[in-house]
Amino acid sequence: MAEAILEVRDLVKHFPVRVGVLFKRTVGHVKAVDGVSFELRRGETLGIVGESGCGKSTLAQVLMRLEPPTSGTASFEGKDMFALRGAELRRLRRNVQIVLQDPYTSLNPRMTVGDIIGEPFEIHPEVAPKGSREGEVRELLNVVGLNPEHINRYPHQFSGGQRQRIGIARALALRPKVIICDEPVSALDVSIQAQVMNLLGELQRDLGLSYVFIAHDLSVVRHLSDRVAVMYLGKVVEIGTEEEIYGQPSHPYTQALLSAVPVPDPLLRGRREVIRLAGDVPSPVDPPSGCRFRTRCWKAQDVCAEEEPELITRVAGHPSACHFAEAHVVVGAERENS
């Protein structure tokens, strides 16, 4: 097992809800991320899945130090990320980069592709001396599968998938060790999604990158991840290897989530077990007491409202935050039955 390159402990991010015109009053907090711990090992992909509002994108922002954490720690190669200042923070920026979801808003429309991919070198001039930058940019375009001759084009002259490649090239420019991918393929068409996923896979193999891969699409996460964390309302409810999470999910939410994904095979129609959850995700401003999933859970009992289940290994060899954790095969079960 490779050593951890990124270690997150009890990370909390609350956004205050303010009202008022000149003097604002705080009336509550959006508990976007509420005590998240995990580690990312060198060279692996950690998938983070969850539905909208589960805090996965906020997690990315805090890890990129775009938002200050409310509490908790994260260390990159043993150094406390949130304590870094000045030159050390700049070094962190070189080591940890991000690929954003929307290829249409993540590139400045008034900069050429050369300027966009070259900007990291302007901010960190020590990475590439001035004369070599254009060559570096052309090389990066080549690496992500774009024509280096297109260096003077503007983002709007590219399709969504090509723009996402430009965003990946920008993230690669500083030769980072970790890339946080925040829904990198969810805005793309099906035929383009596979291209970008394959590109991310190749880059990982060639450059030894570690990914935190955030997505809501469970199929995409399974395809790319070595380990997977499932988030619900700001908390990790289950974490384990890809086989453990998809093969032996033990948290009811994970099971429901997996069963709800439509499988592109009409022969399985009506034969798959589908767990239908009632209602919507509660508001992160006022999450349920105890276990946050209890309001939608079919296993819920009194203890679930009183006591918050810890994320510990109870069954199936991996941690799950449920008092009644129980491995239950959801995906591919119909095959064995038939």
Instruction: Identify the residue among 29, 41, 42, 90 touching other proteins (CB under 8 A).
Output: 90
What distances in angstroms separate CA 193 from CA 57, 161, 229, one per listed residue? Answer: 20, 8, 22
Which three-class secondary structure state does DSSP give residue 268?
Answer: helix
Scan residues 146-165 and list those touching other proteins (CB under 8 A).
Answer: 149-154, 156-159, 161-162
50 conformational bin, left if phi > 0, alpha if psi -120 to 50, beta if neither: left
Using rule CB under 8 A, residue 124 touches other proteins: yes
Using rule CB under 8 A, residue 277 touches other proteins: yes
The interface region with other proteins, picked from 30-38, 75-83, 240-248, 307-315 by CB under 8 A, is: 240-248
| Angle value at C-alpha 306, between 301 and 312, nearest 5 degrees | 85
Which three-class secondary structure state does DSSP give residue 212?
Answer: strand
Size of the site for other proteins (CB under 8 A): 88
Nearer to other proteins among residue 34 and residue 182 (C-beta): 182
Contact present, 291 and 300 (Cβ < 8 Å): yes
Query: Of 319, 306, 315, 307, nearest to 230 (Cα)?
Result: 319
- Integer Cα distance of 13 and 11 in angstroms: 7
Which residues, in sequence order, are bridge partners of residue 98?
180
In the shown chain, the binding pattern of residues 285 to 324 toward other proteins, with x for contact by CB under 8 A and - for none, equals ----------------------------------------
Scan residues 38-57 and list those touching other proteins (CB under 8 A).
Answer: 51-52
Scan residues 165-224 and list those touching other proteins (CB under 8 A).
Answer: 167, 170, 174, 189-195, 197-198, 216-220, 222-223
Using rule CB under 8 A, residue 97 touches other proteins: yes
Contact present, 162 and 83 (Cβ < 8 Å): no
Kindly state the tokens that stand for 208. 């030894």
Nearer to other proteins among residue 1 and residue 22 (C-beta): 22
- Cβ of residue 212: shortest distance to other proteins, in angstroms? 13
Amino acid at position 301, single letter: Q
Nearer to other proteins among residue 291 and residue 314 (C-beta): 291
- Cβ of residue 312: shortest distance to other proteins, in angstroms? 25
